[in-house]
Amino acid sequence: MLNWAIVSPLIAALFVPFLSKYVRSIHTGWFVLPIPVLLFSYFIQHLPLKPYGQTIPWIPSLGMDFQVYMDGLGLLFSLLITGIGSLVVLYSIYYLPKEKEKLGHFYVYLLLFMGAMLGVVLSDNAIVLYLFWELTSFSSFLLIGYWNERDRSRYGAQKSMLITVFGGLSLLGGFLLLSIMSGGTYSIRGWIDMAGAWPEHPLFLPAMLLILLGAFTKSAQFPFYIWLPDAMEAPTPVSAYLHSATMVKAGIYIVARFTPIFAVSPLWVWLVMGVGMATLCWASFHAARQTDLKGLLAYSTVSQLGLIMSLLGAGALAFHGDLSDRRLYTAAVIAAVFHLINHATFKGSLFMAAGIVDHETGTRDIRRLGGLLGIMPVTFTVAVIGSLSMAGIPPFNGFLSKEMFFAAMVQVANADWLSLEVWGALFPVLAWVGSVFTFLYSVLFVGKTFFGAPKPSAWPKQPHEAPAGMLVAPVVLAVLVIGFGLFPNVLSETVIAPAADAVVNGLLRGEGLSVHISHWHGWTTEVWMTIGVIAVGALLYKTFPSWKRVYGAFPEQLSLNRLYDASVRHMEEQSYRLTSAYMTGYVRTYFVYIFSAMMALLIATIALKVDWGLSFRHVAEVGVHELILVLAALAGTVTTVAAKSRLVAIIALGSVGYTVSLFFVLFRAPDLALTQLVIETISVSLFLLCFYHLPKLSRHEKGVRFRLGNAILSLGVGALVSVIALLAYSEKNFASIAQYHIENAYEKAAGKNIVNVILVDFRGFDTLFEICVLAIAALGIYALVKLKAPKGESGKYE
Amino acid sequence: MTMMFYVALALLALAILCFLYRVVKGPTVADRVIALDAIGICLAGMVAVLSIVLETSVFLEIILLIGILAFLGTAAFAKFLQKGVVIERDGNH
């Protein structure tokens, strides 16, 4: 059942094109909507959770099966994916007009993505997980480039594809290393059970780094966050769904899922916590400077993902320290899971609100917006609720998770191991600074869009409140924001506790895991920190115009986007230069490469492998006539090479050929001699034919130009081949099989000419295909001579 | 007796070397062609002597072949030098 739940969106995607083509009167989205709704109701039936798994054999011989396992973490993500998926589909029905848009494409991509995402969070087989992981990258690429006639969309799609696929490949590398360490299994639960003995393994560190690289690129962590702001070229429902609620959390999911394996390593704790914190501060600082609503939300997503990531890093500390520490740091995991849910709700609603503003006014630029408060009251309410939750103001759910975040970071500062006694104090400070900027941009989002004076002249359209259907999804999310804020314990026992339990792998089973979720009152450090955030944030907002130029001080040249663009451009340029440097287009250059490579390989082999046993045991006596013939052949060769005119070279070559036939006579090979004579005559005539038809221009006869490099190379090749021949001849390891032919040519094959018997009887197959070669050559020549491209169409045959 | 054959072979080879000198030196193409023709005939002679030395009759065909080829080659070359082509188109096709 679970397997079918995962693939059901993929199967449904097959039917969408038909529906969008043949049922044109109804918006295709209505047909798609039941799928996530049904899946959501299916997944919600699993509450209260009893973990269970299921396997459908796929390639059992390679250990790859469609193996799914539902635990708290998987269920939490499944509910997010299908729940927000339903709302996004509903929203998109009103957002995308059915007359103008290619709805079939849109919903196929969206369903592909939904199925892939469910596969990522529910797969227990790492290879299947990787498969779905790449499918999310791919469908996200398609969705970002949905308006593919726009340059920016194509740029954003390409950028996100390059970065996430880079991460995906390193994730695959990490999985393979883990599978090697575990002796061939791909089951993630199997790995978690085995992980105890791994920290000493030499592959542990590479596997960890590769998996983290995959997770960080997907979840837009520093410095890989740069694709996310550019992915905002996608339609707003896509941004709301993929780039805030689901896909960017796949990396979070991987980190959470692999925490039980890697958390024992201090490097894991430091990397996850440090990178998360750096992302939080950097992105929240930059979010406030954005002038595009979706750009602001993209940077805010990056910073919130950093927050969740750093909480997961702090949660990994639970695997160190003693029992009381475990309880304290598990609270960080609970905070991470809680904030994951909260972020999905408020960020989804904010994106939808931004989409409504865009849809109704025609612009997303906050410099042109303002004063929409009276015009769009519902959107305004939704945006205020979302923003205040994002800023961490009571009574919304963001407040609770931010308090838990501060609490966890204060705990990190109190830790006294893994060098945390030195650097730990940095974390609460950075967390606080990041939250101040979060407050600032949240207030900016609402303040610049809905307050201030209306600017009707700057609006492309006359705005009015969005249609009711478009408002349903953001209102539902806003209600959830308030609901979770007021009654957080609805979630704590049902969803959060099992999910946190899965992250820490039952570290605290039966030891009061749930206590910390309900415990959220009291005058503690974190309350004062929140009050400080609000006070300083409000001050910064008031004075924003006067210190805004701080952002200008940051050199644009050093930004990561510039670095990305420059490195892509440089890679293209450099590989082009490299290619055009060695691919000269001259055959002579390639011959130099081929001969040099041949010499290098052979010399290296001889130097390393061959023992120098030159012996002349097998050498026969040399007669005078042989010497004379050698001299004749030599004279012919030298003349060929040194000839000033081509005619001389051809004749000299012919003389070499005839000398060779004389050698055949001398070495008692009459058939060879006959053939050689005839063939030599024919080929000399062919040479003469070519010579005669050379074009007039290049006919001026010149000697061969002397090039030292070529001379050295050819001398080297000649010497080398001679040495190899001598070496090979010195070692005759086996007797020849020729004796068999001599004895049996007449006995078995009824022929006295042994050469001919071999050619047509003992080894007639070779002859057959040499006849074939000659036939092909003849036909080829005929075709070359006869078939000429008609005039004006010469390009066709090139 | 065998010694004499070797001497004959050596002389023929020497003759070929001399003709080769003519092939290399020229000065006109006709000199070279005639030298080549003579080399061919010398080769036929060498093959004949060699078959006596090697006491075999299998090389006699080669002698005939060299004779034919030398004639054909020289005739073709001569035609080439005279007319610029070896096979003339007679207009029937």
Mutant choice from B46, B52, B79, B85 vs A, greatest count of A C-beta within 10 A: B46
Q: Are B24 and A677 in contact (CB < 8 Å)?
A: no
- Residue A84: per-residue pLDDT: 93
What stretch of H or E contains A55?
strand A52-59
Lookup result for tokens 């080669």: B62
Residue A460 lies in a domain: yes
A681 vs B86: CA distance, rounded Å: 14
Last residue of some domain: A541, A559, A580?
A541
pLDDT at residue A415, as a whole number: 76
Q: Do B46 and A665 touch (CB under 8 A)?
A: yes
Q: What is the mean pLDDT of residues B38-49?
A: 88
Give me chain A's average pLDDT, please.
86
Residue A600 confidence (pLDDT) above 90: yes
Chain B residues close to A666, C-beta within 8 Å: 50
**Contact criterion met (CB below 8 Å) for A528 and A410:** no
Q: What is the mean pLDDT of residues B62-75?
A: 87
pLDDT above 50 (res A240): yes
Query: Predicted confidence band at A418 (pLDDT cuts at 50, 70, 90)?
Result: low
Residues of chain B in contact with residue A639, where contact means CB-CB under 8 angstroms, are: 23-24
In a domain? residue A195 = no
Q: Which residues of chain A are within 8 Å of residue B77 when distances are taken between CB atoms?
A: 688
Of all residues in chain A, the percent with pLDDT exceeding 90 is 35
pLDDT in tens, A735-785: 788 888 888 888 888 888 888 999 999 999 999 999 999 999 999 999 988
Choose the mutation target among B9, B11, B89 for the interface with A, i.e. most A CBs under 10 Å: B9
Confidence of residue A403 (pLDDT cuts 50, 70, 90): confident
Interface confidence, given as ipTM, is 0.75
Owning domain of residue A457: 277-295+336-541
Alpha-carbon gap, residue A787 to B10, rounded angstroms? 52
* pLDDT of res. A317: 84
* CA atoms of A622 and A633, how far apart (whole Å): 16
- A625 closest CB neighbour out of B9, B17, B56: B9
pLDDT band at A476 (very low <50, low <70, confident <90, very high): very high
Domain end (from A514, A541, A568): A541
**What band does A323 get if pLDDT is binned at 50, 70 and 90?**
low
Where do runs of H (alpha helix) occur along A418-559? Answer: 420-423, 426-450, 468-486, 489-491, 497-503, 515-518, 525-542, 544-547, 550-553
Residues found in chain A: 798
The full length of chain B comes to 93
Residue B40 with chain A: CB contacts under 8 Å: 658
Which residues are A67's β-sheet partners?
A: A55
Q: Which residues of A touch B29 (CB under 8 A)?
A: 647
- Residue A797: per-residue pLDDT: 46
Evaluate if residue A790 carries a pLDDT over 80: no
Q: Which of A637, A650, A658 to probe by mutation at the B interface, max B CB count within 10 Å?
A: A658
B47/A692 touch (CB, cutoff 8 Å), yes or no: no
Indicate which of B18, B20, B36, B89 best probes the interface with A, i.e. most A CBs within 10 Å of its own CB.
B20
- Does residue A649 carry a pLDDT above 50? yes
Q: Is A555 helix (H, G, I), strand (E, B) or coil?
A: coil
Would the pLDDT of A519 be above 60? no
Give one word for A236, left, alpha or beta, with left for phi > 0 and alpha for psi -120 to 50. Answer: alpha
Q: Does B64 touch chain A (CB under 8 A)?
A: no
Tell whether A688 lies on the interface with B, counting CB pairs under 8 A: yes
Nearest CA to A259 out of A125, A401, A73 is that of: A73
Confidence (pLDDT) at A770:
95
Q: Within an 8 Å CB–CB cutoff, is residue B43 touching chain A?
A: yes
Q: What is the phi/psi pair of residue A66, to 5°?
A: -80, 85
Interface contact flag, A629 B59, Cβ < 8 Å = no
- List, for residues A422-436, the tens digit of each pLDDT value: 777 888 888 999 999
Q: What is the CA radius of gyration of chain B?
A: 17
Best residue in A622, A666, A691 for a mutation probing chain B (most B CBs within 10 Å): A666
Q: How many domains does chain A have?
A: 2
Q: How far is it, in rounded angstroms, from Cα B51 to Cα A47?
A: 103
Does residue B40 register a pLDDT over 80? Answer: yes
Quote the minimal CA–CA distance from A605 to chain B in Å.
Answer: 41
Rounded to an integer, what distance in angstroms lies between the CA atom of residue A337 and that of residue A502?
11
Is 80 exceeded by the pLDDT of residue A796? no
Residues A689-744 have pLDDT tens digits of 777 777 655 445 566 677 888 899 999 999 999 988 888 888 767 778 888 888 88
Percent of chain B residues past pLDDT 90, beyond the cut:
3
> What value does the mean pLDDT take over residues A72-83?
91
* Cβ-based contacts under 8 A for chains A and B: 84
Q: Copy the structure tokens of residue A273.
A: 């916590």
| Cβ neighbours of B66 in A, within 8 Å | 677
Residue A466 lies in a domain: yes
In a domain? residue A724: no
Q: Is position A429 within any domain?
A: yes
Residue B77, class by beta-carbon neighbours within 10 Å (0-12 exposed, 13-18 middle, 19+ buried)?
buried
Q: Tell me, what's the pLDDT at A530? A: 87
Select from A343, A366, A364 the least CA-distant residue to A355: A364
Pairwise CB contact (< 8 Å): B43 & A658: yes
pLDDT-derived band at A575 (thresholds 50, 70, 90) equals very high
The reported pLDDT for the residue numbered A791 is 65
> Both tokens of residue A466?
């969005």
Q: Using an 8 Å Cβ cutoff, are A161 and A141 in contact?
A: yes
Would an 8 Å CB–CB cutoff place B36 in contact with chain A? Answer: yes
pLDDT of the residue at A9: 92
Would the pLDDT of A514 be above 70?
Answer: no
Q: Which residues of A touch B19 (CB under 8 A)?
A: none
| Residue finishing a domain among A487, A518, A541 | A541
B23 interface with A at CB cutoff 8 Å? yes
A729 touches chain B (CB under 8 A): no
pLDDT at A550 > cutoff 90 = no
Query: Does A666 contact B at CB distance below 8 Å?
Result: yes
Decide if A687 touches B, using CB distance below 8 A: no
Q: Which residue does chain A place closest to B64, by CA atoms?
A: A674
